[in-house]
Structure 1
Amino acid sequence: MSVNWAGRHPELRLLFDSVGNGHDLGSPAEHARPVTRRFSQIREIFTPSAGRPSPAPLWRSLAWRPPSREVYKTYLGLYAWPPSERYAAVEEAMERLGMAAAWDDARQRVESVPGRREIEFFAIDETDETDARVKIYYRNHGADIGEMNRIASVAARHDGESALAAYRTLTAGGTAAGQAALSCLAFRPGLDRAAESTTYLRLADLAASDRQAVDRTSALLRREGVDPGPLHALATALTPGPLEDSRGFLALVSYRASGRRGDITTYFRFPVYDRPAPLLGLPGGQVRDQHAALSEGGRR
């Protein structure tokens, strides 16, 4: 569960994990689900019928900001594939969606930034409206906040000064971005480069407790003109125990510096699984806990 704090009313977001239910892009249940025209253009690209090693794991999410109607999104996990397959699928999907030029520009800009990172997720807004986004997520390895800011600067709309100040607040003045920090580039139709970027810092790694994580996030909210009281109330009500005694419930905090104040999202990780997680096969005989992959990805 996550909450975006921008605007007059917070936006509640719920991500549904379909692990274990057979709901991936290759399952009959998924093919029976109504999809938007945009998604129908690309869904086959992420399946073995298009030469992929396996169907992409699938998540659905909904977001609701009163009084607006709910918004739906789909996320495709690419992490089980070799890098070449990930790039091939993304390139073909962006071509079909008319965003090839923007993706070429973004990829070249990202690859010019020194550091280690990998594409991990491809996401699409489940609407056929003209401003619907496509989002591509990178997982960064060993990055500092300067590197995260350079990745975010790939987008056309990004205030680097505000972003660095936000990152410093979340890291308590440190320079490390934490384990597996995430970068999301959002693409919109008609633009020849990425439109916006969001940076996700893993407070579960950067803070010693949920109390510390909530306090740092509250300081950022306050600096952006947002009352942190509702965050404190939510975290206190939902955390399984005192905030001082827990760590990792407030797992991620994201910041988007694209002109809207308070564009901060808090991601809460619930202990929801009551059975051992299935394992994903990876190249080289490795395996990966798919539930952990979801939690580490810290969506969006």
Structure 2
Amino acid sequence: MNRHEDHRHEDDGHRNDREEGHGNMSAEKPPQGGDPFVVSGPLPRDHPLRLATDRYPPATSRLDAAADKLARCHKGLGLPSEQAADAARLLSEVWGPSADRPIGDPRWRCYISVDGSPFELSASWRGGAAEVRISVEALADPPEPVANQAFGWDYLRGLAGRPGARVEHVLALEDLFRSAAPREHYWMGHGVAWPPGGDPLFKVYLDPHVGGPEHAPAVVGEAMERLGAGKAWRAALAHIDGHGGPGRIGALSLDLVDPERARAKVYLQYPDLDAEAIDRQAGIARGHVPGAFAAALRAILGGFDPPFARPPVTCFAFRKGEARPVSAALYVPMVPPFADDAEARDRVAAFMRGVGVDPGPYASFLESLADRPLDGSRNQNFIAYEPAGPGREPRFSVYAAPGLYA
């Protein structure tokens, strides 16, 4: 989100029944906050996380499981093994004490991943260039809301001084995204990507509902003003209001780079809008291809129509001083509606071929990450799609849980 961003679990570990009344930015349930499409927070005694992988013994640390997943994903995408090793070393330096907790003793259902794991893997590619990313939910050890909040911000401060990492623009928002009494659903995510031939790129995912869902729009509005993107955010809201009204703000993410060029991304969930309305809303973004989002939703989701049990998401990206969003990406949910990862893969791969993109990297990533056959797992979270005009390549990203829990 994610973070950063939007997950939903059934009573067997995948999602809850859909709650009503979540189509508006300011009127949501539950009243104390939390994403209505996610179960996260302390584990109830009658609903534990059950270890679902036979690849790792219960005593395996979170860090070791993540390092193995990174190595497999890099290998599956044909990326250098040295890059995967560097990624694992970096994680060992920044993750904190909860990295050593055994996966057989989770203690907390995390927001960051569709199976409740404390990390999520993703891959992104445009043309022949692929990169692997990982997002980690900041947790204290032992986890509880106040300690998790403090650790999340300490984690961020600890990134200052790393090559290319800038955190001052995020720290300037700390008063907006901290609470004196954070609710049990509180989350904060940290992402890192390894672009080909470049230094690691860090990102943070913030929860605008930290003070209660009724305050989320104002929190994001003030954050965008401080970031120098207020004009573009207001333009986006005005455009959205004319094309079906606002969605629910899911998360705000920020690149930890020079604040003058850092992107701020706002993720809007749309449980009640149809494909055409979602597409029209994205029209405010620079470079949007009219009709592309609607075509993707129809092709991938098929006969699934609103209200969605788990909604599509539009991610609007902003930069300081710009008059409107610099881009928009569509996040299509994979769980639900599909019965398993194999069915989702087939639908997505067919769409990719239809827009002239080789689905090979996507399929390879899923296969390399999986601990069991794809027709027996539901670990995909979203497929993200950023269309491109004539002569340019679209960008795809896939987000998937490590499959540790059920």
Place the TM-score, normalised by the shorter chain, in its bin.
0.7 to 0.9
Deviations 1:85-128 (A, max 9, x none): 11221122111111111111112222333267211211111011
Structure 1 unmatched ranges of 5 or more? 275-300
Q: C-alpha displacement at 1:13, in angstroms?
A: 1.3
Cα–Cα, structure 1 residues 107 and 53, in superposed 2: closer, same or farther, change >3 Å?
Answer: farther
Per-residue deviation, 1:217: 1.6
Secondary structure at the aligned position of 2:236 is classed as helix
Distance 1:117 1:143 in 2: 9
2:201 corresponds, among 61, 71, 75, to 71
Q: Which residue of 2 is the match for residue 131 of structure 1?
A: 261
Q: Give the aligned partner of residue 279 of structure 1.
A: none
Q: In the alignment, is the contact (CA less than 8 A) between 1:60 and 1:73 conserved in 2?
A: yes
The structure whose RCO (Cα within 8 Å, separation 6+) is larger is 2
Matching residue of 2:28: none
- The whole-number CA distance in structure 1 between the counterparts of 2:282 and 2:309 is 16
Q: Among 177, 181, 192, which residue is 1:46 paired with?
A: 177
Sort the Cα spacing of 1:118 and 1:81 in 2 relative to 1 into closer, same or farther, 3 A: farther
Q: Confirm or deny: 8 A CA contact 1:182 1:199 kept in the other structure.
A: yes
Once the two structures are overlaid, the 10-residue window that deviates more, 173-182 or 97-106, is 173-182
Partner deviation per Cα, 1:241-294 (whole Å, 9 max, x = no partner): 222233x212211111254523111111223469xxxxxxxxxxxxxxxxxxxx
Does 1:184 find its partner at 2:315?
yes
**Is the contact made by 1:62 and 1:70 (CA closer than 8 Å) also made in structure 2?**
yes
Deviations 1:124-154 (A, max 9, x none): 1101153210111112223322222122223
Counterpart in 1 of 2:216? Answer: 86
In 2: Cα distance, 1:31 partner to 1:226 partner: 36
Return 33-42 or 262-271, whichever deviates more: 33-42
Q: In structure 2, give the amino acid aligned to 1:249.
A: N
Matches within 5 A, 1:196-211: 196-211=327-342
Query: Are the equivalent residues in 1 in contact too, given 2:207–2:252 (CA < 8 A)?
Result: yes
* Contact 1:61 1:73 (8 Å CA) reproduced: yes
Aligned to 1:97: 227
Residue number among 319, 324, 329 corresponding to 1:193 in the alignment: 324
Instruction: Quickly say closer, same or farther: Cα 1:265–1:243, change in 2 above 3 A.
Output: same
Is the Cα contact below 8 Å between 2:341 and 2:375 reproduced in 1?
A: yes
Describe how 1:278-297 pairs up with structure 2 within 5 A: none
Q: Which amino acid aligns with 2:383?
A: V
Considering only aligned residues, what root-mean-square deviation do their CA atoms show, in Å? 2.7
What corresponds to 2:403 in structure 1? Answer: 271
In the TM superposition, residue 204 of structure 1 has moved relative to its aligned partner by 1.7
CA contact (8 A) 2:278 2:293 kept: no
AA aligned to 2:397 is T
8 Å CA contact 1:115, 1:143 repeated in 2: no
Distance 1:89 1:258, change over 3 A: farther
Match of 1:157 in 2: 287
> C-alpha separation between the residues in 2 aligned to 1:68 and 1:213?
32
Contact 1:15 1:62 in 2 (8 A): yes
Q: Does 1:3 align with 2:126?
A: no
Correspondence for 2:139: 19
Partner of 2:30: none
User: CA 1:173–1:69 in structure 2 vs 1: closer, same or farther (change >3 Å)?
Assistant: farther
- Paired with 1:125 and 1:229, the residues of 2 have a C-alpha distance of 28
**Alignment coverage as a number of residue pairs:** 271
Q: The residue matched to 1:186 in structure 2 has which SS? A: strand
Percent identity among equivalent residues?
27
Distance 1:164 1:141, change over 3 A: closer
Query: Quick one: distance in 1 between partners of 2:256 and 2:248?
Result: 25
- Counterpart Cα distance in 1 of 2:303 and 2:290: 16
Residues 268, 314 of structure 2: 8 Å contact kept = yes
Stretches of structure 2 that go unaligned for 5 or more consecutive residues are: 1-120, 142-146, 161-165
Matching of residue 223 in structure 1 with residue 348 in structure 2 = no
The alignment's TM-score, normalised by the length of structure 1, stands at: 0.79
| From 154, 163, 166, the counterpart of 1:29 | 154
SS across alignment from 2:320? coil
Tell me, in whole angstroms, the C-alpha distance in 1 between the residues paired with 2:357 and 2:368.
20
Aligned partners of 1:7 and 1:67: how far apart in 2? 16
Whole-Å Cα distance in 2 between the matches of residues 172 and 103 of structure 1?
Answer: 32
TM superposition shift of 1:238 = 2.3
Q: Distance in 1 between matches of 2:129 and 2:156?
A: 35
Distance 1:173 1:165, change over 3 A: farther
Separation (CA, whole Å) in 2 of partners of 1:193 and 1:257: 18
Structure 2 contact 139–151 (Cα < 8 Å) conserved: no
